[in-house]
Structure 1
């Protein structure tokens, strides 16, 4: 065995060895099969002798009798599956070190939620962002996107390169907002940001000030308040069909020549998506006047000035929940200190259905407020705000729920409300009763469709009851429901006081019972105490 510690020296040694073997090819090998002692050239031998004393951590490379490097044999190429495993581990290390998960805000809808209704999560007319970019069925809208970009450049008298350069600066930050790998190249991604972003802003501004003021014809097939606009609303509110708000802020700032446009896109988005609100209480006239004044850069109070957001879906969700404080969640389940609770699918029943609550004497009344989630309970009366259900409500709620399931930095208020209503509604009779009192208004075919909608919204959703803003209210309702006297009183009312004739019959029976008791008493009393 010869200890070799220099790769370059080893190469020269092997070359010399091969030359010597070629010259001495006629000399037979030893029959013992043991390793021969080979004489090295004097120069190489002296260099090797200088390296006899080496540190303990040095690597010794053995040479076999054929002059082959044993280290090279040992370091032969690794199997492909081992290389693949190492690459995946390296990618995992980079993901952890980069903290990329913290930047996510636009998610792909999980498969367990998609199984319910995939059309509710996939755009049907227009794509926004990279997830559905370039799909065949959505390409028809691309020509209108290019028209909007042309209109913006013509109206602002700006160069396209200005928009491309600004989006190039935001590319890395924008990519980090999306879940998974984006297959678009750098140029394609930047082009998508400019094209989709300008298209979205044209829709927002056109809905606020009128499309004709932006230069579009009255009969434009897209940029007009026509029937197709409702489908565009529904597509652009989907979780997988979003652009980050800072991208839209940057593009609007370039158009207006004022870089600091933070918050204005959020106001435009709220105005644009107002038809999707799950209530028939639109913005008041005074609020709309304030909103219009805020677009004119005045100092008048703006009701939406405190809204931030990650993207349009987040902005819309914040606008739904920003109308006032909600109750603080109360812990239902007893747990040990420092115990980590996990959401349990078996414990999502907050309250009983409408029919059962009615039997316990609980009444239902409509609460006059546009905050559809603001439910109150007091003295046996459950006050629920009016809820308007249309053909876009299902997709809206599903995408809001999906966002709350994916994004850990937001509450589960929409999910809590939907599950609460799902508990209330078990059949079309429950829907009919709520509709009778004006709590539910719907444009669907029948009450049974409404019941089916709520029963399907949260089929695969798991959430923590203890983290619901309706937990305290549900506990109060259940306590009232479990009180026997309330059930008895309700039964008495339903059976004997449900109409005037039943009330008259009840009192007549009571009077007859009292008279019978008096007659019996005096008869017995006269028997034992006869008159003298």
Structure 2
């Protein structure tokens, strides 16, 4: 029996337009210039309760700069800058003047509000945060020297999980030009960073996997780089029926249809597919879920909401989460997804269920979800006879088994009587 607390999801193009026109988020959907906006209002309650919005140990960017709770890591950033420029104030000042200062005025366009922060202070923030972030990434990807490991390693190992979560918060970002300008100093590349980031959300990641970044494409910040790596550049087709309102009740309906679940080999949120001839197969990206990756996932969904255009055409993370939420109606469904290796979670079944069910009502799945439900409806329409027959046997399996067992008993009695009569 399905959990009645999980509402059915009804999505249409008109619904998507209505959600956007009502201003469900703080940052306008058309305001693409604001590349590091504040967290969307409709996700704020869910994110705040779980600590997925504000940083725990380190601020990156101006939004949380100066927070007393983050003072320990703020002091450590000074050490990071000192080591980054090998103890040379001259190199530091030269780099700040040549690379960081020209970015400062443009950087203001990345943020919603920067009241009370001068250009010079913004330069200092970006320099310190950039140096710390690059050294953390270099350390995590195995690029630091033994000498650096001595002073950098103990601090990172102490706060490793919290830093991992903080660096992917939507409100805790610095413009990519700052990161890119510092990468050459460390020998880091975008591909190397992207390659390491992708392993954080996939259980089937291997060291041979490579992130392909187009040469003519630049991310807005680190979170947008992760989004590109996990979504790709897939172009969505137009829905064949823009008035379609697709109602999908979840795992129970799929089971009645004979639809099998399978983890696909790819590692993109956008790879949701339905295929099969006699019966169907629903393939989803395998997802590794823990408190840190859960924060990444929520912030990826928030980033999509703030950047959405064309009815949320690129909201693949929102669509993926919506589909998984529909597949999970009770704790037993979490076990099924674990068995299929679609969701591997370090959290309990109850916590995993609570995460997806709590998130589902505030997501904005957009056209990607609409197309998925439309594909499902097309599958049902073309195979309605097969599905009806399968559903009859599926829903009456116990009754049919009982009848067959009774027939078996009666057949045995009849056979015994017949043998006695012959004797």
Tell me if both proteins adopt one fold, taking TM over 0.5 as the criterion.
yes
Structure 1 residues 366 and 250: alpha-carbon distance in aligned structure 2, compared to 1, 3 A threshold: closer
Residue 171 to residue 222, structure 1, CA distance change in 2 (3 Å): same
| 2:183 counterpart (238, 244, 252) | 252
SS at match of 1:333: coil
Equivalent of residue 141 in structure 1, options 73, 87, 99: 73
Contact 1:149–1:198 (CA<8 Å) still a contact in 2? yes
Quote the RMSD (CA, aligned, Å): 3.4
3-state SS of the aligned residue for 2:95?
A: helix
Contact 2:38 2:170 in 1 (8 A): yes
CA distance in 2, matches of 1:156, 1:399: 37
What CA deviation, in whole Å up to 9, does each residue of 1:288-307 have, x standing for no partner?
A: 6xxxxxxxxxxxxx834545
The unaligned stretches of length 5 or more in structure 2 are 1-29, 416-423
Partner secondary structure for residue 344 of structure 2: strand
Confirm or deny that 1:387 pairs with 2:272: no
Pairing 1:380-529 to 2, within 5 Å after superposition: 380-408=280-308, 411-445=314-348, 447-465=349-367, 468-479=370-381, 483=384, 486-493=387-394, 495-496=396-397, 505=405, 508=408
Q: How does 1:315-326 map to 2 (within 5 A)?
A: 315-322=225-232, 325=234
Secondary structure, in 3 states, of the residue corresponding to 1:128?
Answer: coil
Do the aligned partners of 1:329 and 1:470 also contact (CA within 8 Å) in 2?
no
CA drift at 1:111: 2.8
SS at match of 2:282: strand
2:142 aligned with 1:209: yes
Which structure ranks higher in relative contact order (CA pairs < 8 Å, sequence separation ≥ 6)?
2
Q: CA deviation at 1:185?
A: 1.6
Secondary structure, in 3 states, of the residue corresponding to 1:357? Answer: helix
**Equivalent-residue separation in structure 2 for 1:197 and 1:453 (angstroms):** 32
The secondary structure found in structure 2 opposite 1:276 is coil
Cα distance in 1 for partners of 2:367, 2:410 equals: 47
Q: Which runs of 4+ in 1 moved over 6 A?
A: 501-504, 509-512
Contact 1:146–1:195 under 8 Å retained in 2: yes
How far does the alpha carbon of each residue in 1:216-249 deviate from its partner, in whole angstroms, 9 at most, with x for none?
30783224xx362221111000110001111111
Preserved contact between residue 350 and residue 474 of structure 1 (Cα < 8 Å): no
TM-score (structure 2 length as normaliser) = 0.77
> How many equivalent pairs are there?
374
Determine if the alignment matches structure 1 residue 363 to structure 2 residue 266: no
- Distance in 1 separating the partners of 2:137 and 2:403: 60
The alpha-carbon distance between structure 1 residues 485 and 160, as it changes in their structure 2 partners (threshold 3 A), is closer
Q: Indicate if the aligned counterparts of 2:169 and 2:296 stay in contact, CA closer than 8 A.
A: yes
The answer as to 2:115 corresponding to 1:151 is no
| Aligned mate of 1:243, from 164, 174, 179 | 174
Mapped to 2, the partners of 1:229 and 1:441 lie a distance apart of: 21
Distance 2:320 2:291 in 1: 19
Residue 188 of structure 1 and its aligned partner are, at CA, apart by 1.1
Distance 1:328 1:200 in 2: 38
Which residue of the partner structure matches residue 125 of structure 1?
A: 57
Greater Cα radius of gyration, structure 1 or 2? 1
1:314 paired residue number: 224
1:485 shift after superposition? 5.1
- Deviating more after overlay: 414-423 vs 210-219: 210-219
SS at match of 2:362: coil
- On the 8 A contact 1:496/1:506 being kept in 2, the answer is no
Determine if contact 2:287/2:343 at 8 Å carries over to the other structure. Answer: yes
Once the two structures are TM-superposed, the CA of residue 449 in structure 1 deviates from its matched residue by: 1.8
| 1:110 pairs with 2:13 | no
Partner of 1:8: none
Instruction: Report if the CA contact (8 A) 2:38-2:171 is conserved.
Output: yes
Unpaired segments of 5 or more residues in structure 1? 1-99, 289-301, 336-346, 516-532
Q: What residue is the counterpart of 1:220 in the other structure?
A: 153
Partner SS, residue 106 of structure 1: coil
